[in-house]
Structure 1
Amino acid sequence: MLSNFVVIPVVLVMTIAVYTDLRSRLIYDWLTLPGIAYFLIYHAFTHPDQWTTYGLGVILIGGVTLLMAVVSNGQLGGGDIKLFTLVGAAVGWEAGLYILCFTYLLAGLIVIPIWLAAKVSGRQAAGREIPLAPFIAGGTSLLLMAVAFI
């Protein structure tokens, strides 16, 4: 069970990240970097015996998304990488991997039909960049709901 000291800040960060990503295609460092530090410090004091889970969340989730950004030639932005890293710091590496999967499943369910419709109609999609923060927030919300009902 996640504490309100985790859930509320995650929801707040995701709300701001979605807004800024949709508005300007940016997820700011002033949002993600203090959030990563907050969650690592919070877990160091409240769960010192499990702190490695959250530290590995930063390294593993951040590292996987960084690798994806490198492989995709920059299709995944730095703000997205840091937002995923924040998620890893907040919920740990295991839950972070679920959020990573949920995020890309949601993105695929939404973006692939739009892309196919644009391809069939002969129109170009309205911009090639898709903001990922709404999908990261959706994947995180799915995990938070699953944890709440278990």
Structure 2
Amino acid sequence: MHKVETYFKRRGRREALELLWIDLPLFVILIWATYTDIKSRIIPDRLVFSGLCYFLVIRIGYADQPYFHYLLGVIAGAGILYICALIRPGSFGGGDIKLLAVVGVAHGWQISLIFLCLVFFMAGMFAVIKYLIWKNKNSLIPLSPFYLLVNIVIWLFSKGYS
């Protein structure tokens, strides 16, 4: 308990509120999406749309950036994946696109773009390693585990124990 109290005393009330209202719900959504994506290759619309609604309402009441940054986060992250899916059908699922919209509205457009680049990098590294080991080019890789991993990395570097 001492470490938790020290963390919040050092960080302040604002960071504690952001952890409680932004970071933890996003982690829950990403963990749930990862579980369902690995288990059934589907990210439920109910999960994604409830996350979008939740973060839109929260960001109206608690925004550390101008409001349009969060809407740009939706457009920047999900829009790029959507364009990629239009160019190459089957490359990204609709759940992956909508889940990135949730990340965009939770973090804003700058973090959303960094998030997307890190997801592509980590998923690409995993795909190369998987190909070198199993020699299977045609298998699909779920992206939501990389969303969760990248969210942890971004949280650790921006708000975590730095």
Q: How does the TM-score come out when normalised to structure 2? A: 0.83
Matched, 1:12 2:51: no
RMSD (Å) for aligned C-alpha atoms: 1.7
Q: Which structure has the greater CA radius of gyration?
A: 2
Aligned to 1:136: 147
| Structure 1 position 128, deviation (Å) | 1.3
Q: How does the TM-score come out when normalised to structure 1? A: 0.89
Q: Is the 8 A contact 1:18 1:133 kept in 2?
A: yes
Matched, 1:76 2:87: no
Classify 1:49/1:79 alpha carbon distance in 2 versus 1 (closer, same or farther; 3 Å): closer
| Structure 1 position 134, deviation (Å) | 0.3
| Structure 1 position 3, deviation (Å) | 3.7
Distance across 2 between alignment mates of 1:62 and 1:109: 21
Matched, 1:38 2:54: yes
Distance across 2 between alignment mates of 1:41 and 1:23: 30
Q: How many residues align?
A: 145
Specify the SS of the correspondent of 1:97.
helix
Aligned to 2:4: none
Quick one: higher RCO (CA 8 Å, sep 6+), 1 or 2?
1
Unaligned 5+ runs, structure 2: 1-14
Q: Is the 8 A contact 1:102 1:142 kept in 2?
A: no
Aligned to 1:89: 105
Distance across 2 between alignment mates of 1:128 and 1:61: 24
Distance across 2 between alignment mates of 1:100 and 1:49: 19
| Structure 1 position 59, deviation (Å) | 1.6
| Structure 1 position 117, deviation (Å) | 2.6
Unaligned 5+ runs, structure 1: none
